[in-house]
Amino acid sequence: MRLGLVLSEVGQGLRRNLSMVVSVVLVTFISLTFVGTAILLQSQITQMKTYWFDRAQVAVYFCTDFTTAGSCDQQAATDDQIAAVEAQLQSATLAPFIDAYYFEDQELAFQNFQDQFAGNAIASLVTPELMTEAFWVNLVDPEQSQILSDALAGLAGVESVVDQRSYLDQIFAILNASSLTAVGIAALMLVAAALLIATTIRLSAFSRRRELGIMRLVGASNRFIQTPFVLEGVVAALLGSLLAGGAVIAIVHFFVQGYLTQTLPGTSFVTVNDALIVAPVLLVAGGLLAAIASNVAISRYLRV
């Protein structure tokens, strides 16, 4: 009986305020889509970080006839110098930190370069003499590359010790920035959504102020008075959240799985399963946001 009455009040309120309700639906839809995208982007970044950082190597580059950096003086590293570095890598101090290493001589480097830039004009300009020889080292703990560069950077014939993660860091910094931007936009949109919900509920309460006045006069409980309004906000926000959940799933299904995975095979991307976890989070977030916003908005009509 009371439930029916409350629900009919909700329906009335939604119909009476249709245009405002539509705008609430749209704003929650957009803002929660941003929230969902930001969450997925974060999990994508984490996934890629674990994948790439595990594979990141430390390169010990040797001098060539053309380099002047480090301790080089346009003099290629001698075999003795290379052997000295290898001895260091096998020494008791460094060995425990090293998982594996291999030597890339000019021929091998040239081969890799040709593979990497196949079809590119630069491939035909490069000769093996131009290539840099290097030790490629896999560390037990990729975080500890500093030890290697401390031990080897000053040795004769070594041009530089480079941790590949420093390149990755730049990429991840860009990805992180875009994910933070999405979070920022999402936060702003959520504020807008909360204010819009509050305004809508206030408008709805204003258009029903006669009923509210009589309800208070005859002793309707506060909970009874506020429930229809809170539900009104929650229903509108849930509609928006459903759309946002659908949009996030669609983005993952059609864009990430359908396009990115085809274009960039070999990289692991977030899956529809991840999106299916995010969607309920959005629903709960939307519902909570609306419940709190409408509760605050309606409370002024309940002051005794």
Partner 1 sequence: MIRFDEVTKVYRGNARPALNAVDLEILAGEFVFLVGASGSGKSSFLRLVLKEERPTSGQIHVLGQDLGRISSRKVPYFRRNLGVVFQDFRLLPNKTVFDNVAFTLQVIGKSKGFIHEAVPDALATVGLDGKGGRFPHELSGGEQQRVAIARAVVNKPSILLADEPTGNLDPATSDGIMTLLQRINANGTTVVMATHDVGIVDRLQRRVVELVGGRIVRDERGGSYTQAVPLVREQSFGPAEVTP
Q: Which residues bind partner 1 (CB under 8 A)?
A: 1-2, 5, 210-211, 213-222, 224-225, 303-304
Q: Which two tokens stand for residue 80?
A: 């003795």
Closest contact distance (angstroms) between CB of 213 and partner 1 is: 7
The CA angle 120-170-69, to the nearest 5 degrees, is 70
Closest contact distance (angstroms) between CB of 216 and partner 1 is: 7
Q: Which two tokens stand for residue 226?
A: 């506020």
Closest contact distance (angstroms) between CB of 211 and partner 1 is: 6
The rounded distance, in Å, linking the Cα atoms of 182 and 159 is 41
Closest contact distance (angstroms) between CB of 225 and partner 1 is: 8
Closer to partner 1 by CB, 5 or 174: give it. 5
Closer to partner 1 by CB, 47 or 222: give it. 222
Residue 275, Cβ density class (10 Å: 0-12 exposed, 13-18 middle, ≥19 buried):
buried
Q: 158: which strand partners?
A: 62
Q: List alpha helices for the chain, DSSP H.
A: 2-16, 18-55, 79-90, 106-116, 121-125, 145-152, 165-207, 209-218, 222-250, 261-263, 272-299
Q: What is the CA radius of gyration of the chain?
A: 31
Closest contact distance (angstroms) between CB of 228 and partner 1 is: 11
